[in-house]
Amino acid sequence: MGYIEKTVAALKKSKYAIAFTGAGISAESGISPFRGENGIWNKYKEQLFEINYFTEHTQDSWSMLCDGFYEAMFKAKPNEAHTALASFEKEGLIKAIITQNIDDLHEKAGSKIIYSLHGNASKLRCIKDGSNYYVKFFDLKTAPRCKICNSMLKPDFVFFGEMLPEYDMHMSLKVSLKCDVMIVIGSTGTVYPAASIPYYAKRNNATIIEVNPTPSAFTNEITDIFIPMKAVEAMQNIRTLFYQQR
Protein backbone atom coordinates (compact mmCIF):
# COMPACT_ATOMS: atom_id res chain seq x y z
CA MET A 1 0.00 0.00 0.00
CA GLY A 2 1.48 3.38 -0.98
CA TYR A 3 1.82 6.39 1.34
CA ILE A 4 -1.33 8.09 -0.03
CA GLU A 5 -3.40 4.94 0.51
CA LYS A 6 -1.92 4.49 4.00
CA THR A 7 -2.68 8.15 4.79
CA VAL A 8 -6.32 7.89 3.69
CA ALA A 9 -6.73 4.64 5.64
CA ALA A 10 -5.30 6.30 8.79
CA LEU A 11 -7.52 9.37 8.36
CA LYS A 12 -10.67 7.24 7.81
CA LYS A 13 -9.89 5.20 10.93
CA SER A 14 -9.09 8.28 13.02
CA LYS A 15 -11.34 9.58 15.79
CA TYR A 16 -9.47 12.88 16.30
CA ALA A 17 -7.17 13.92 13.46
CA ILE A 18 -5.45 17.33 13.47
CA ALA A 19 -3.02 19.18 11.19
CA PHE A 20 0.24 20.95 12.02
CA THR A 21 1.44 23.31 9.30
CA GLY A 22 4.59 25.28 8.53
CA ALA A 23 5.68 27.75 5.87
CA GLY A 24 5.92 25.03 3.22
CA ILE A 25 2.13 24.76 2.91
CA SER A 26 2.05 28.37 1.69
CA ALA A 27 5.01 28.12 -0.70
CA GLU A 28 2.69 27.30 -3.63
CA SER A 29 0.64 30.39 -2.77
CA GLY A 30 3.72 32.49 -3.52
CA ILE A 31 4.85 33.09 0.07
CA SER A 32 8.54 32.19 0.47
CA PRO A 33 9.37 29.79 3.25
CA PHE A 34 11.96 30.96 5.76
CA ARG A 35 14.57 28.26 5.04
CA GLY A 36 15.65 26.30 1.99
CA GLU A 37 16.13 27.70 -1.52
CA ASN A 38 14.80 31.32 -1.85
CA GLY A 39 14.07 31.22 1.87
CA ILE A 40 13.45 34.58 3.56
CA TRP A 41 16.51 34.08 5.77
CA ASN A 42 18.69 33.86 2.64
CA LYS A 43 17.70 37.45 1.82
CA TYR A 44 17.11 39.06 5.22
CA LYS A 45 18.78 38.67 8.58
CA GLU A 46 16.56 37.16 11.29
CA GLN A 47 16.67 40.65 12.89
CA LEU A 48 13.83 41.43 10.47
CA PHE A 49 11.62 39.50 12.89
CA GLU A 50 13.36 40.59 16.12
CA ILE A 51 11.31 42.74 18.54
CA ASN A 52 14.23 44.91 19.73
CA TYR A 53 15.31 45.65 16.17
CA PHE A 54 11.71 46.52 15.30
CA THR A 55 11.26 48.96 18.19
CA GLU A 56 14.67 50.59 17.59
CA HIS A 57 14.54 50.69 13.76
CA THR A 58 10.81 50.85 13.17
CA GLN A 59 10.71 52.57 9.79
CA ASP A 60 13.57 50.46 8.42
CA SER A 61 11.92 47.34 9.79
CA TRP A 62 8.56 48.17 8.20
CA SER A 63 10.12 48.68 4.75
CA MET A 64 11.93 45.31 5.01
CA LEU A 65 8.79 43.58 6.30
CA CYS A 66 6.78 45.00 3.38
CA ASP A 67 9.39 43.99 0.85
CA GLY A 68 10.19 40.61 2.39
CA PHE A 69 6.76 39.47 3.50
CA TYR A 70 3.71 41.73 3.31
CA GLU A 71 3.87 42.30 -0.46
CA ALA A 72 3.64 38.52 -1.07
CA MET A 73 1.05 38.07 1.67
CA PHE A 74 -1.34 40.66 0.28
CA LYS A 75 -1.24 38.91 -3.14
CA ALA A 76 -1.40 35.34 -1.79
CA LYS A 77 -4.49 33.17 -2.10
CA PRO A 78 -5.11 29.89 -0.26
CA ASN A 79 -3.93 26.92 -2.37
CA GLU A 80 -5.48 23.46 -2.65
CA ALA A 81 -3.61 22.22 0.40
CA HIS A 82 -5.26 24.92 2.55
CA THR A 83 -8.68 24.28 1.00
CA ALA A 84 -8.34 20.49 1.40
CA LEU A 85 -7.78 20.95 5.15
CA ALA A 86 -10.78 23.31 5.31
CA SER A 87 -13.02 20.77 3.54
CA PHE A 88 -11.75 17.98 5.82
CA GLU A 89 -12.70 20.18 8.78
CA LYS A 90 -16.21 20.61 7.33
CA GLU A 91 -16.40 16.79 7.05
CA GLY A 92 -15.52 16.56 10.75
CA LEU A 93 -12.34 14.69 9.75
CA ILE A 94 -9.81 17.36 10.79
CA LYS A 95 -10.70 18.75 14.22
CA ALA A 96 -8.14 21.59 14.37
CA ILE A 97 -5.16 23.16 12.63
CA ILE A 98 -2.06 24.17 14.56
CA THR A 99 -0.05 26.52 12.40
CA GLN A 100 3.29 28.29 12.65
CA ASN A 101 2.26 30.47 9.73
CA ILE A 102 1.27 34.11 10.04
CA ASP A 103 -0.13 34.52 6.51
CA ASP A 104 -3.86 34.14 7.34
CA LEU A 105 -4.28 31.60 4.49
CA HIS A 106 -5.95 28.91 6.63
CA GLU A 107 -8.52 31.52 7.70
CA LYS A 108 -8.99 32.65 4.09
CA ALA A 109 -9.45 28.98 3.03
CA GLY A 110 -12.37 28.71 5.46
CA SER A 111 -10.82 26.69 8.29
CA LYS A 112 -12.40 27.65 11.61
CA ILE A 113 -10.46 25.95 14.44
CA ILE A 114 -6.96 27.35 14.02
CA TYR A 115 -4.31 27.72 16.71
CA SER A 116 -1.74 30.21 15.44
CA LEU A 117 1.45 29.66 17.45
CA HIS A 118 3.24 32.60 15.83
CA GLY A 119 0.28 35.01 15.58
CA ASN A 120 -1.17 36.50 12.44
CA ALA A 121 0.33 39.21 10.21
CA SER A 122 -3.10 40.33 8.94
CA LYS A 123 -3.50 42.25 12.18
CA LEU A 124 -1.57 45.01 13.97
CA ARG A 125 -1.40 45.51 17.72
CA CYS A 126 -0.69 48.66 19.70
CA ILE A 127 2.43 48.11 21.81
CA LYS A 128 0.93 50.33 24.54
CA ASP A 129 -2.80 49.67 24.90
CA GLY A 130 -2.98 46.37 23.00
CA SER A 131 -5.70 47.52 20.62
CA ASN A 132 -5.97 45.48 17.42
CA TYR A 133 -6.32 46.71 13.82
CA TYR A 134 -6.45 45.05 10.37
CA VAL A 135 -3.21 45.79 8.50
CA LYS A 136 -5.10 46.25 5.21
CA PHE A 137 -6.48 49.61 6.45
CA PHE A 138 -3.00 51.11 6.76
CA ASP A 139 -0.53 52.43 4.21
CA LEU A 140 2.64 50.78 5.52
CA LYS A 141 4.94 53.28 3.82
CA THR A 142 4.99 55.13 7.14
CA ALA A 143 5.11 53.29 10.44
CA PRO A 144 1.43 52.87 11.51
CA ARG A 145 0.29 54.35 14.82
CA CYS A 146 -2.53 53.56 17.21
CA LYS A 147 -5.76 55.48 16.50
CA ILE A 148 -6.45 55.66 20.24
CA CYS A 149 -3.15 56.52 21.93
CA ASN A 150 -0.91 57.24 18.89
CA SER A 151 1.69 54.72 20.09
CA MET A 152 3.56 52.43 17.69
CA LEU A 153 1.67 49.53 16.12
CA LYS A 154 3.48 46.23 15.56
CA PRO A 155 2.50 43.31 13.32
CA ASP A 156 0.47 40.90 15.46
CA PHE A 157 2.87 38.04 14.88
CA VAL A 158 5.42 36.68 17.35
CA PHE A 159 8.79 38.33 16.88
CA PHE A 160 11.94 36.54 17.95
CA GLY A 161 12.29 37.53 21.61
CA GLU A 162 8.53 37.50 22.28
CA MET A 163 6.44 34.89 24.08
CA LEU A 164 4.09 32.66 22.06
CA PRO A 165 0.36 33.35 22.58
CA GLU A 166 -0.65 31.46 25.73
CA TYR A 167 -4.11 30.38 24.58
CA ASP A 168 -2.90 29.04 21.20
CA MET A 169 0.00 27.19 22.84
CA HIS A 170 -2.29 25.73 25.53
CA MET A 171 -4.87 24.56 22.99
CA SER A 172 -2.15 23.19 20.66
CA LEU A 173 -0.79 21.05 23.49
CA LYS A 174 -4.29 19.97 24.48
CA VAL A 175 -5.36 18.79 21.01
CA SER A 176 -1.93 17.23 20.32
CA LEU A 177 -2.23 15.08 23.44
CA LYS A 178 -5.73 14.07 22.34
CA CYS A 179 -5.23 13.35 18.64
CA ASP A 180 -4.78 9.87 17.13
CA VAL A 181 -3.55 11.24 13.77
CA MET A 182 -1.49 14.38 13.07
CA ILE A 183 -0.73 15.43 9.51
CA VAL A 184 2.40 17.63 9.51
CA ILE A 185 2.71 19.75 6.36
CA GLY A 186 5.71 21.85 5.27
CA SER A 187 7.87 22.39 8.33
CA THR A 188 11.60 21.95 8.98
CA GLY A 189 10.68 21.11 12.58
CA THR A 190 13.59 23.23 13.79
CA VAL A 191 11.99 26.20 15.57
CA TYR A 192 10.96 25.70 19.19
CA PRO A 193 8.71 25.67 21.12
CA ALA A 194 6.39 25.24 18.09
CA ALA A 195 8.38 22.25 16.79
CA SER A 196 7.78 20.40 20.08
CA ILE A 197 4.06 20.04 19.32
CA PRO A 198 4.23 17.00 16.98
CA TYR A 199 6.30 15.21 19.64
CA TYR A 200 3.37 15.55 22.06
CA ALA A 201 1.12 13.89 19.48
CA LYS A 202 3.66 11.10 19.08
CA ARG A 203 3.80 10.67 22.86
CA ASN A 204 0.06 10.07 22.66
CA ASN A 205 0.74 7.29 20.10
CA ALA A 206 -0.75 9.34 17.28
CA THR A 207 0.09 8.30 13.72
CA ILE A 208 2.32 11.08 12.34
CA ILE A 209 1.84 11.69 8.62
CA GLU A 210 4.33 14.14 7.11
CA VAL A 211 4.08 16.00 3.79
CA ASN A 212 7.36 17.59 2.69
CA PRO A 213 9.42 17.36 -0.54
CA THR A 214 12.51 17.03 1.65
CA PRO A 215 12.99 15.22 4.97
CA SER A 216 12.72 17.43 8.07
CA ALA A 217 13.89 17.13 11.68
CA PHE A 218 10.68 15.19 12.32
CA THR A 219 11.14 12.60 9.56
CA ASN A 220 13.53 10.13 11.16
CA GLU A 221 12.33 10.87 14.69
CA ILE A 222 8.55 10.62 14.77
CA THR A 223 7.14 10.35 11.25
CA ASP A 224 5.19 7.15 10.51
CA ILE A 225 4.09 7.95 6.95
CA PHE A 226 6.39 10.26 4.95
CA ILE A 227 4.92 11.72 1.75
CA PRO A 228 7.86 13.17 -0.26
CA MET A 229 5.65 15.59 -2.19
CA LYS A 230 4.75 19.26 -2.28
CA ALA A 231 1.69 20.17 -0.23
CA VAL A 232 -0.72 20.83 -3.11
CA GLU A 233 -0.03 17.57 -4.99
CA ALA A 234 -0.10 15.50 -1.79
CA MET A 235 -3.35 17.03 -0.49
CA GLN A 236 -4.99 16.76 -3.93
CA ASN A 237 -4.13 13.02 -4.02
CA ILE A 238 -5.30 12.46 -0.43
CA ARG A 239 -8.54 14.38 -0.98
CA THR A 240 -9.30 12.55 -4.28
CA LEU A 241 -8.73 9.09 -2.80
CA PHE A 242 -10.61 9.96 0.41
CA TYR A 243 -13.75 10.97 -1.50
CA GLN A 244 -13.41 8.06 -3.99
CA GLN A 245 -13.49 5.64 -1.06
CA ARG A 246 -16.51 7.29 0.56
Cα distances (angstroms) measured from residue 152 to each of 28, 46, 114: 33, 21, 27
Answer yes or no whether residue 78 interacts with ligand APR by CB under 6 A: no
Say which DSSP state 68 is in.
I
Q: Which one of residues 24, 119, 144, 165 is an interface residue with ligand APR (CB under 6 A)?
A: 24
Q: Which helix (H) or strand (E) holds 122?
A: strand 119-126
Answer yes or no whether residue 231 interacts with ligand APR by CB under 6 A: yes
> What do you get for the CA distance between the two ends of the chain, in Å?
18
Q: In angstroms, give the least distance from the CB of 94 to ligand APR.
A: 17
Q: In angstroms, give the least distance from the CB of 215 to ligand APR.
A: 8
Distance CA 37, CA 39 (A): 5
Find the radius of gyration of the CA atoms of the chain: 18
- Residue ranges in 33-52 that form contacts with ligand APR under rule CB under 6 A: 33-36, 39
Answer yes or no whether residue 28 interacts with ligand APR by CB under 6 A: yes
Residue number of the CB closest to ligand APR reads 24
- Residue ranges in 170-189 that form contacts with ligand APR under rule CB under 6 A: 186-188
Distance CA 84, CA 199 (A): 24
Residues that bind ligand APR (CB under 6 A): 22-24, 27-28, 33-36, 39, 100, 118, 186-188, 191, 211-214, 216, 230-231
Active-site amino acid positions: 118
